[in-house]
Structure 1
């Protein structure tokens, strides 16, 4: 029995020694190779070649994970079960995450290239000093129309109520977008906190229902490219893909008012590789990288030097780079708070049920 006991002890010691050697060799093989940076971003929202380039330059491997909504991203980070080093939420969600202490306050001394960002895209209401976020892409909400199916192209939100467009409008599925259209058509802010204005906007949307063919999300691109509808309400980046897929499609930003949105880079409070996150922010602020990304994605870049590098037919297209006059009438979504956002959602849901 003693011999068996000694034998087992010996085997255990050998296993432990071998494990220690293996672990040591693994550590040695990793020395000077790569760290890891976990990026949490929208799907297909960066040129993959840029991720490879970043790794080649810095030695930092990128673990690129995706989400399909701001709310899904927020929930993952708020729960804290998974570590993300950098993510790219939209403006209203940035404000919410700031309020809930979910973001790292940026050390501006570690950021290089902020001067490349157009000043009009800095210091906005959702992050007044850019203490927590750096612009990545921006865009608008607007109208896509097919010139073979529309005799009188819509130019403003109010035009969508025309009988000419009966059963021919694809509406993006979003409470803020739908309610915003109703509010702005009536001359109100898309961030209205007035209950009477909200109810009036919802009532006005009911009158639009005969013209609505469908309320959809990602499917809008395919439908419009395939001539399934004459008109769509969608975001500028989605519109860019539609126009690439169908030469008869055009994009218009209502000059009297629409949504101006921003997706910004932030560092979540639970980040483990904060220095790597700063390195990536600086990498994306470099004009040549921002330019490459804008060409690949098709969204508007806030980087002035990158914009200058774009082809003339892209940077001079006011549908995607609106004039300063149009920009004055565009509004950024405010963080309305849970209760008021619930009112928007309830009214929009009633509208969706009404049209059925």
Structure 2
């Protein structure tokens, strides 16, 4: 019996030794792979759904050997909450403008290393150094767009929707679709009153809510992504939405067009950023530089069909795309567009509560 126990003990020591050797070899292999922090040659990306050409991910892996773990989110708030919790080690996230401001203020983002990222030279200066990230210390512009009006020329003339105020016309009773977004619907109401999209004055915000209430007889529905299908299928002649969704609609129905009202509107930016959870820094900068190469940025823009801030990519894209002022507006129009700021928890809640009250009055 003692001999048997001694033999079993000796075997267990051998097994433990083999596991120790295996761990050493894996660690050595990971170190040789040149990754930082997590010990595996991977890159963890957290992005909006269907917001990158999948073939570019394949190309990146083929060129660099880094395997990509790719997850998607539905809103800035969902992404923020998951990164804030810190349970998952994402290397790259894609927050919108106001969320970059919030995350950098809360020290959830890491600064961009200018020695490792060489791509800023490819970007149009008009889309850099914005208020949400002065000097682009924490973010790289990915795509951009606007908030505007989609109309169907079978039922509406362009001259009837060139101003936000025209939406309140009685001729549009039960004819308008609104995107389900407190910030965006309050934005056009505030702009129609000559106010800032970032207004925090109680009287102004209440007045904007009252004006939205006055619009309700003209509102057919308040929708999420379904607004694309509804407009394409001509369920309504007018929709308020983002330029990216407008481009999808127009591609499916030749009678649809997009207008940025003359009073101005919101210009939004989605951005590449590095969260504090990041670990694979060598892979991160390889990817950021890869996506900033004009040929790759152009390919991505053709797939996503949103406006690219990459001036090198613009030179490659067809003139039929970059010359379309619906989605690449003139400098005159751009100067009249406004970026959202982070309203802070208090005012974000006020806007959301008032918007919920507005929606509850819908039929």
With the shorter chain as reference, the TM-score category is over 0.9
**Larger CA deviation: 304-313 vs 94-103:** 304-313
Query: TM-score, normalised on structure 2?
Result: 0.93
Question: Which shows bigger deviation, 285-294 or 163-172?
Answer: 163-172
> In terms of mean alpha carbon deviation, does 65-74 or 248-257 score higher?
248-257
Tell me how far 1:32 sits from its aligned partner.
Answer: 5.0
2:276 counterpart residue number? 269
2:260 maps to 1:253:
yes
Q: What is the 5 A alignment of 1:315-354?
A: 315-354=322-361
2:318 aligns with 311
Which whole-Å CA distance do the structure 1 matches of 2:196 and 2:297 have between them?
32
5 Å-filtered alignment, 1:3-152, equals 3-20=3-20, 35-151=41-157
**CA shift for structure 1 position 216:** 1.0
Partners of 1:27 and 1:333 in 2: CA distance: 45
Separation of aligned partners in 2, 1:3 and 1:167: 90
Gaps spanning 5+ residues in structure 2: where? 35-39
Aligned-pair distance for 1:313? 1.4
Evaluate the alpha carbon distance shift between residue 56 and residue 195 of structure 1 in structure 2; reply closer, same or farther with a 3 A threshold.
Answer: same
Distance in 1, matches of 2:262 and 2:275, equals 36
Which of residues 276, 279, 282 in structure 1 aligns to 2:289? 282
CA distance in structure 2 between the partners assigned to 1:112 and 1:255 by the alignment: 37
222-231 or 20-29, larger mean C-alpha shift: 20-29
Cα distance in structure 1, aligned partners of 2:267 and 2:209: 21
Show CA shifts across 1:103-134 (max 9, x none). Answer: 11122121112111111111110011111111
Q: TM-score, normalised by structure 1?
A: 0.95
Separation in 2 of the partners of 1:115 and 1:73? Answer: 29
- How far does the alpha carbon of each residue in 1:126-154 deviate from its partner, in whole angstroms, 9 at most, with x for none? 01111111111100011111122325641
Q: Which residue of 1 aligns with 2:2?
A: 2
Contact 1:267–1:274, Cα closer than 8 Å, also in 2:
no
1:2 is displaced (CA, Å) by 1.6
Q: CA deviation at 1:254?
A: 1.3
Compare 6-15 and 86-95 and name the one that shifted more.
6-15
What is the CA–CA distance in structure 1 between the aligned matches of 2:162 and 2:48, rounded to whole Å? 30
| Secondary structure at the counterpart of residue 109 of structure 1 | coil
Are the counterparts in 2 of residues 92 and 335 from structure 1 also a CA contact under 8 Å? yes
Distance 1:274 1:232 in 2: 43
* Alpha-carbon shift at residue 56 of structure 1 (Å): 1.7
User: Structure 1 CA distance, aligned partners of 2:28 and 2:333?
Assistant: 58
Secondary structure in 2 aligned to 1:355?
coil
Cα offset for 1:16? 3.0
Structure 2 partner of 1:296: 303
What SS does the aligned partner of 2:221 have? strand
Q: 1:22 to 1:106 in 2, by over 3 A?
A: closer
